[in-house]
Amino acid sequence: MQSFRTELENPVVEKDIIELDKKILQFREGKIPEEKFRSLRLARGIYGQRQPGVQMIRIKLPYGKMTLQQWKRISDVSDEYSTGNLHLTTRQDIQIHYVSLEKTPELWAKLDKDDITIREACGNTVRNITASDKAGIDPDEPFDVTPYADAAFRYFLRNPICQDMGRKFKIAFSSSDRDTAWAFMHDIGVIPKIRQVDGKTVRGFKVMVGGGLGAQPYLAHTAFEFLEEDQLIPYIENVLRVFDRHGERASRHKARLKFLIQKIGFEEFERLVKEEHKALKSKNFVVERTEEPVVLPAPDPVLPAFSIKDPKKYEAWKTTNIFRQKQDSYYAAYVRVPLGNISTAISRQLIDALRPVIADDVRVTANQGLLLKYILPAHLPYVYSVLETAGFAEAGFDSIADITACPGTDTCNLGISSSTGIAARLEEVIHDEFPDLVYNKDIKIKISGCMNSCGQHGIASIGFHGSSLKSSGKTLPALQVLLGGGIVGNGEGRVADKVIKVPSKRGPDVLRTLLHDYETNGQESELFNDYYDRQGERYFYDLLKPLTDLATLRDEDFVDWGQQEKFATAIGVGECAGVVIDLVATLLFEAEEKLAWSEEALANAQYADGIYHAYSAFVQGAKALLLSEGVSCNTQHGIINDFDKHFVAAGKLVVDGGFKATVMQINEHEPTESFAKQYFRQAAAFYSQAQEYRQAVAAPAQEQA
């Protein structure tokens, strides 16, 4: 670990990496339970794969931005520690696979040389904050949301309020009312707005809360039609504090914010959010409106000789993959990346060749592609030729031909049937049989390997998720077909209907049937979802019903796409979030750790952080004692109430004024130095009592054993 200390410039990151290395060693020595270690590594972007003994590393790119040097750094790291493939995700991250656990601290240290993090890319944390890829150059945007997305990323990274919540939390920033970041499907989604107040232009956001995809999609509630810009981050913090305290922790499938709001009602949720306001470290948060200046390409670079092999494809590419930026004289170009996979060799080839003619700001898009910015019109032919040479010049970005798919059974524990194999086959169907649809950006096809919607099938015009069917005692791969999802605009969206399930190998026939029917029976200029609404769900069920006939199955139907062996479901334990820790000793250790963090924060005058760490120590200590006596613990709110009932009222522990009243002082005081120090002392005294009680109870039990 000495090399990390000497090479890293950021002491905060250095501390993170040293701690990770130490925890890995303790885990290997059996000093940390597997459940606890899983939670710890997930919060550091380290995700167990379907294949045993190796890890997927998720690299967190806020709003999908990377410089050319960062892209090169990620490529170098993939070559050294992974397989030389970069997987672009629907949350604008980059994933690399087949990494040794012991190598992850070293890998992280090398990423940090170019200010790249894996911290909180997985686990029960605020995940990567996404944004419309056009943000900053969008001709329709009221203002650039990029600085606000960046400020939110930095504010909540390592923030004590969101390090170990009941479940993950997702935030998105759309650049305009077109809502291309899907604000309506996030825990918090925002859309920029401007208002005239006393003759002045005021910035703000429409704020959506409580949306989500997964197996049970929910459309978000509108929290504010207009929230002034300096109130956005404080509001998000309020929501996170409520989610941390009241969110479900025992039942993982009911632990998202959408379920909490469904359970208590939106009115009660809003009341709880307002209760948190006094405790905030910032009652308003002013975001600097300008990022670092964009490094633009030189106007007259010396370019190598080039040629365009297929002028007809170039014209199609210009029609579908480029747009004029709001900045005069500049264009942006989208790059289709099939299934989100691009090699490190091609990445370096593109970096070197494109550097003279694009800005030093590349965006990973939410449909697994790339966006190149600030291209002068005269350089568009050269950009195309570079992409053509690399094999990445396909037209039809974000069209029906540009299918989104999660990795599915290739690497994910939760995958049921192949998503990447069927996606590739469907793209072939469109390319070979419906070539003109490369210009159709109305219909979106999205595929997930299971019902959890990492491929966003729940908001697709035509969606599929992996499943299985039984026939004559044998299992075969299947696809659930969903229709009618998508963006409406301004924070409104559509959740796709589950229509029918078919064998996976009939997926191409599903697509052919739908497209031929739409071609034949759709009205002039009628959009696909309007056609779906007019015909109705039952119409499409009947249309596709012949494809469900299991009496005509062939041997190949029992083999999944891209596989050789007969299909068998092999679902592992999902790692989209940490698991509940139910070991009393571990919980008490965590409470002690939180106290140490609190003391450190107070020493650095970070009083709000110190208070929240002390709060967490109260909760972890109480949870440990409750679990030691068989009391179930679903939420922090429940723990606080139950501790008074089972311990204080029963006379087992003395807490002056009651446990709840003591702990919930957190919402009754400003985060001042005096309160922070008082609250810490109370938390430390409670922890000492908890340890004494545990030892007094455990000792007789050990003697009897």
CATH number for region 584-704 = 1.20.120.330
Q: What is the chain's Cα-based Rg? A: 26
23 and 9 Cβ atoms separated by less than 8 Å: no
Residue 699's contacts (CB-CB under 8 Å, 6 or more residues apart) are none
Q: What is the DSSP string of 262-311?
A: HHH-HHHHHHHHHHTGGG-S-SS-PPPS--SPP-PPPSS--------S-H
Q: Has residue 426 got a pLDDT over 70? A: yes
- The per-residue pLDDT for 50 is 82
Q: State the architecture of 311-390 in CATH terms.
A: Alpha-Beta Complex (3.90)
Euclidean distance between CA atoms 500 and 341, whole angstroms: 30
Across 41-45, 52-56, 414-418, 519-523, least confident range: 414-418
Ordered strands of the 322-324 beta sheet: 65-66, 362-364, 370-375, 331-335, 322-324
Reported as a single tens digit per residue, the pLDDT across 134-168 is 999 999 999 999 999 999 999 999 999 999 999 99
Euclidean distance between CA atoms 337 and 372, whole angstroms: 13
Specify the DSSP class assigned to residue 116.
Answer: -
**Residue 704: how many CB atoms within 10 A of its CB?**
6
What are the residues facing 362 on neighbouring strands? 66
Residue 652's contacts (CB-CB under 8 Å, 6 or more residues apart) are 646, 693
- Pairing between β-strand 46-48 and β-strand 55-59 as defined by DSSP bridges: antiparallel
Does 552 or 567 have the greater pLDDT score?
552
414: three-class secondary structure by DSSP: coil
What are the residues facing 480 on neighbouring strands? 465, 501
- The per-residue pLDDT for 410 is 77
- Pairing between β-strand 188-197 and β-strand 200-209 as defined by DSSP bridges: antiparallel
H/E segment holding residue 475: strand 474-483
- Pairing between β-strand 445-448 and β-strand 404-405 as defined by DSSP bridges: parallel
Specify the DSSP class assigned to residue 645.
Answer: I
Average pLDDT over residues 330-352: 97
**Residue 630: how many CB atoms within 10 A of its CB?**
7
Average pLDDT over residues 550-579: 75
Long-range contacts of 343-348 (CB under 8 A, 24+ apart): 343/84, 343/85, 343/86, 344/75, 344/76, 344/78, 344/79, 344/84, 344/85, 344/86, 345/84, 346/390, 346/391, 346/392, 347/71, 347/72, 347/74, 347/75, 347/86, 348/72, 348/75
Q: Which two tokens stand for residue 119?
A: 């911290």
pLDDT above 90 coverage of the chain, percent: 82
Q: Has residue 571 got a pLDDT over 60? A: no
Euclidean distance between CA atoms 259 and 256, whole angstroms: 6
Phi-psi region for residue 491, left (φ > 0), alpha (ψ -120 to 50) or beta? left
Reported as a single tens digit per residue, the pLDDT across 160-176 is 999 999 999 999 999 99
Euclidean distance between CA atoms 567 and 475, whole angstroms: 7
Q: Has residue 690 got a pLDDT over 60? A: yes
Euclidean distance between CA atoms 12 and 158, whole angstroms: 10
Across 175-179, 489-493, 625-629, least confident range: 625-629
Q: Has residue 1 got a pLDDT over 70? A: no
48 and 38 Cβ atoms separated by less than 8 Å: yes
How confident is residue 452, by pLDDT bands cut at 50, 70 and 90? confident
- The per-residue pLDDT for 342 is 98
Q: State the architecture of 130-279 in CATH terms.
A: 2-Layer Sandwich (3.30)
- The per-residue pLDDT for 675 is 98
453 and 256 Cβ atoms separated by less than 8 Å: no
Q: Has residue 581 got a pLDDT over 70? A: no
H/E segment holding residue 167: none
Q: Has residue 5 got a pLDDT over 70? A: no
User: Does the fold of domain 311-390 match that of domain 2-112?
Assistant: yes
**Residue 45: how many CB atoms within 10 A of its CB?**
27
Task: Show the DSSP H helices in 113-250 as ranges.
Answer: 146-156, 232-246
Euclidean distance between CA atoms 224 and 210, whole angstroms: 13
Euclidean distance between CA atoms 336 and 476, whole angstroms: 32
Residue 259's contacts (CB-CB under 8 Å, 6 or more residues apart) are 248
Domain extent listing, the chain? 2-112, 130-279, 311-390, 404-558, 584-704
Reported as a single tens digit per residue, the pLDDT across 639-670 is 999 999 999 999 999 999 999 999 999 999 99
Reported as a single tens digit per residue, the pLDDT across 196-225 is 999 999 999 999 999 999 888 999 999 999
Phi, psi dihedral angles at 223 (to 5 degrees): -85, -40
H/E segment holding residue 652: none
Q: Has residue 291 got a pLDDT over 80? A: no
Q: Domain 2-112 belongs to what topology?
A: Sulfite Reductase Hemoprotein; domain 2 (3.90.480)
Average pLDDT over residues 180-188: 97
Top CATH class of 404-558 equals alpha beta
Mean pLDDT in the chain?
A: 92
665 half-sphere exposure, CB direction, 13 A CA radius: 23
Sign of CA dihedral 424, 427, 429, 431: negative
Which residue from 204, 95, 208 is spatially nearest to 145, judged by alpha carbons? 204
Reported as a single tens digit per residue, the pLDDT across 377-406 is 999 999 999 999 999 999 999 999 999 998
How confident is residue 701, by pLDDT bands cut at 50, 70 and 90? very low
Euclidean distance between CA atoms 237 and 448, whole angstroms: 31
Euclidean distance between CA atoms 74 and 177, whole angstroms: 33
Q: Has residue 242 got a pLDDT over 70? A: yes
How confident is residue 417, by pLDDT bands cut at 50, 70 and 90? confident
User: What's the pTM value of the predicted model, to 2 decimals?
Assistant: 0.93
Q: Which two tokens stand for residue 466?
A: 């992996």
- Pairing between β-strand 94-99 and β-strand 55-59 as defined by DSSP bridges: antiparallel
Euclidean distance between CA atoms 242 and 269, whole angstroms: 8
Q: Has residue 30 got a pLDDT over 80? A: yes
